[in-house]
Structure 1
Amino acid sequence: MISLSRRTVLKGLGTAMALPWLEAMAPAAGIAQRPGGKVAPTRMAFLYVPNGAHMPEWTPSALGNDFQLPRVLEPLTPLKQHLLVLSGLAQDLARAHGDGGGDHARSMACFLTGVHPVKTDGADIRAGISVDQVAAARMGHHTRLPSLELGIDPSAQSGNCDSGYSCAYSSNLSWRSPTQPVPKEINPRLVFERLFGDDTADDVDSRRRRYRKSILDLVADDARALHHRLGADDRRKVDEYLSAVREIERRLVVAERKRTEEVERPDDVVKPEGIPKDNQDHLRLMLDMLVLAFQTDQTRIATMVFANEGSNKSYNWIGIPDGHHSLSHHQGDAEKQDKIARINRYHVEQLAYFLGRLAEIREGDGTLLDHSMILYGSGIGDGNRHNHNDLPIILAGGGCGTLRTGRHLQYPTDTPLNNLYLSMLDRMDTPVDELGDSTGRLDQLDG
């Protein structure tokens, strides 16, 4: 069998296409040895949804492994054995603590930091370093991209968005420093170019020419040469990977055509210049590119925001014309609660899609999901109460064998969510003594 570097890429005009994990690749720096002599990197992603959840239809009634997923979480049923549903976790410093209104802004700013943000709508914003950026600072040098920040709604850095709190707090999940939020990318084409563009190719004409072609056409010669050198299993993995990239390219084109309503020949392959109009198309394109980023080890750390905190987006495509934020102030109205549960379920369907994609991809001694930790949740519990305890939190994936999944765990009231983050950082081989309001590691995760 040939031996390939983990950094092997397929080259073409202005293109450097990273490869998935192959048996022919020698162990890369920064990848821990796993049971059975196999190696695989551990990945970590944080997926955020706004406005809390309808908790009666989120929380399983039984603890341990003998539980049923309720209505909101039901789309995850095929993946139940890969989940930890975690109840009782809190972000205390998202509470007012004397600062009055602004729960939505505080909930997002605090979600990954565990720090109470300074109440301001000026330039003097201040929160804390987020868990993803703690990991990126310590291990980001192992990958081409230290971290990847994705979303659907744009990030803002100024303005008053929530009771005197800057829009920076309610639209940025990741914080590189207490005063520096990391804006998310919301344009699928730009993410695609970031993943597959050649950093050394700065010629504008070359870039313009390659925009009119499929990336697979540009790397075809390299791909054919590599194909003949690989074993059967690796050839299958490469073929599946290239097919996935081709499908994403096709969907990018379709989404762009929907947005512009331009009519082009169906065999044209043109990378889009804009953002899909369809919310599910947008979400799934971003999630699929996150899968590719993990599969090709271009990053091991990511965040994804399904909608900015306090979003009042309507969900007409699932029959809900009402604004999400407005509905979350349901005041016990059963019809509004039902609509909130339907929005929650829609978001969980997108999570199930993402986890399913990770579970399909074989890697070393398991799957991409086995080698990942995917946290999904919100910084608000019930949107009507604006509470920041008993948050809706799911941790999916095996963490390279360090998590015992398929369980619903209940923690004591007000257990800091940041205790979970300390435990996740340990599993990323980037341990820290404290983060935000952490009080120690979260127990029970490994059984």
Structure 2
Amino acid sequence: PEIGGDHFRSSAVYLTQSHPKQTRGSDLYAGTSFDQLCAQRFGQETSIPSMQLCIEPVDQSGGCAYGYACAYTDSISWASPSEPLPMIRDPRVAFEMLFGAGGTSEERAARRKTNKSILDWITEEIAFLRKDLGPTDHARLDRYLDNVRELERRIQAIEAGNMNGESRELPEAPAGVPDSFEEHVKLMFDLQALAFASDVTRVFSFKTGRDASGRVYPESGTDRPFHGASHHGGREEAILEFFKINKYHTSLLPYLLDNLASIEEADGNLLDKTMIIYGSPMADGNLHNHRRCPLVVLGGAGGYNPGNLHLKAPDGTPMANVMLSLLHDLGLDDVESFGDSSGEFSLSMSAPMSSSG
């Protein structure tokens, strides 16, 4: 066991379910991640095959502790076993990539200096599109454009506030990054929902915190830093403090779910067609234990996710088994194994189950 080393490899493990090579050099090796297998299969039909988002800075270089390169902890998405993908922290950057008018970064920068909305640059295209739409689709297009504009306004307001000369809680962060964790997460959720609605991309990964993060979340009801709180020593009072942080983090998920559910599709809503995997590669941060890591699967996934189940796997079941089953549910039947999988673990009533609390 490498006490402490878990923090510097666990991000690379989460969506690859691999055993990363211990190296501080450039000879990285983990596995192709779940999201990138989906991007290879479904992302070729969209303008952006996948997008990787994050909340905290992920720009360390060189070697981190316990013999692991920092690249292992900077990304959860791997295009191949040797290629971790960069993650985008700045909502402005993500917004411009997804919706920005102008083919080059220089053109987009020039547009921003005019203080015009991106929608002002495509008025002719919008008018042409509206001509062939019926009343229902016309209303859907208007709602979508209103949502894009509102998101753009929010980002502009954040940038203006962060550039007014006053001190920031996150002085090193780009101007488009809110100091508020909750505001930042919700912006990223809104970007994902709008991108799915317009089919700009069909695959996102989202890293909401750094391994061993020292961030404090005042809204959670505790002033303990995340990593320090995870090492609770088994003390009941300290465990409850850590619970507050985790409860706060998960309390933000309904914002995304409600957003997706509000977007109507021809045969349902966007949540019905979406698969969301939420979890952690660390089960017990106090002991650096990886047994029974939590994993939640949300969204209808096109009818493959029954929902309302709390499943308990037999001891020793790799999380990779669940991910392999999910890949098969999504139509990737030719994927015979994933990470260190030993078989499948179906998310259905026939699977070993415990009652939900």
Relative to the length of structure 2, the TM-score reads: 0.89
Find the aligned partners of 1:396 and 1:313 in 2 and give their Cα distance: 27
Partners of 1:258 and 1:276 within 8 A in 2: no
Match status 1:369 vs 2:271? yes
**C-alpha distance in 1 between matches for 2:278 and 2:4:** 25
Number of aligned residue pairs: give it: 341
Distance 1:246 1:197, change over 3 A: closer
- Structure 2 letter corresponding to 1:355: L
Are residues 244 and 252 of structure 1, via their aligned partners in 2, closer, same or farther at CA, if it must alter by over 3 Å? same
Identity %: 40
Question: Take 2:187 and 2:249, find their aligned partners in 1: how far apart are those partners?
Answer: 14
TM-aligned CA deviation for residue 230 of structure 1: 1.4
Distance 1:180 1:300 in 2: 20
Residue 352, structure 1, aligned to residue 266, structure 2: no
The one-letter code of the counterpart of 1:217 is: D
- Give how far 1:251 is off: 1.0
- Over 3 Å counting, the alpha-carbon distance change for 1:257 and 1:333 in structure 2 is farther
Structure 1 runs (4+) greater than 4 angstroms displaced = none
Question: Displacement of 1:206 after TM fit?
Answer: 6.5
Q: Does the alignment pair 1:293 with 2:293?
A: no
Q: Tell me, yes or no, if structure 1 residue 331 matches structure 2 residue 233.
A: yes
What code does the residue aligned with 2:140 have?
Answer: K
Among 119, 130, 140, the alignment partner of 2:22 is: 119
Residue of structure 1 equivalent to 2:184: 282
Specify which of 341, 344, 350 is matched with residue 441 of structure 1: 344
Query: Residues 211-237 of structure 1, C-alpha deviation per residue, up to 9 Å, x if partnerless?
Result: 521112222333234334311211221
- What is aligned with 1:202? 104
Q: 2:32 aligns with which of 115, 129, 134?
A: 129
2:129 match: 226
1:20-46 Cα distance to aligned partner (Å, 9 max, x none) = xxxxxxxxxxxxxxxxxxxxxxxxxxx
2:206 corresponding residue in structure 1: 304
Q: 1:102 aligns to what?
A: 5
- What SS does the aligned partner of 2:275 have? strand
Determine the structure 2 residue equivalent to 1:188. Answer: 91
Gaps of 5+ in 1: 1-95, 264-271
Q: 1:205 to 1:329 in 2, by over 3 A?
A: closer
Q: Displacement, 1:294?
A: 1.1
Out of 137, 151, 158, the residue aligned to residue 255 of structure 1 is: 158
Contact 1:377 / 1:393 at 8 angstroms: preserved in 2?
A: yes
Match of 2:169 in 1: none
More helix by proportion, 1 or 2? 2
Equivalences for 1:10-25 in 2 at 5 Å? none
CA distance in 1, matches of 2:326, 2:60: 29
SS, match of residue 163 in structure 1: helix
Report the TM-score, using the length of structure 1 for normalisation.
0.72
Cα pair distance change 1:115/1:204, threshold 3 Å: closer
- Deviation at residue 334 of structure 1 after TM alignment: 2.6
Residues 245/179 of structure 1: CA separation in 2 closer, same or farther (3 Å cut) = same
Letter in 2 for 1:437: D
Which protein, 1 or 2, shows the higher relative CO under an 8 Å CA cutoff with sep ≥ 6? 1
What's the CA shift string for 1:32-82, capped at 9, x where partnerless?
A: xxxxxxxxxxxxxxxxxxxxxxxxxxxxxxxxxxxxxxxxxxxxxxxxxxx
Partner of 2:53: 150
2:318 aligned with 1:416, yes or no?
yes
What's the Cα RMSD here? Answer: 2.2
Map 1:384-423 → 2, pairs under 5 A:
384-423=286-325
Structure 2 distance, partners of 1:229, 1:105, is 53
- Contact map agreement 2:23 2:68 (CA 8 A) in 1: yes
The separation in 2 between residues aligned to 1:206 and 1:187, in whole angstroms, is 15
Greater fraction strand:
1
| CA 1:280–1:258: 2 relative to 1, 3 Å | farther
For residues 199 and 317 of structure 2, what CA distance do their matches in structure 1 show? 33
- Could you tell me which of 134, 138, 141 is aligned with 1:238? 141
1:91-111, Cα deviation, whole Å (9 max, x unpaired): xxxxx4xx5541122322111
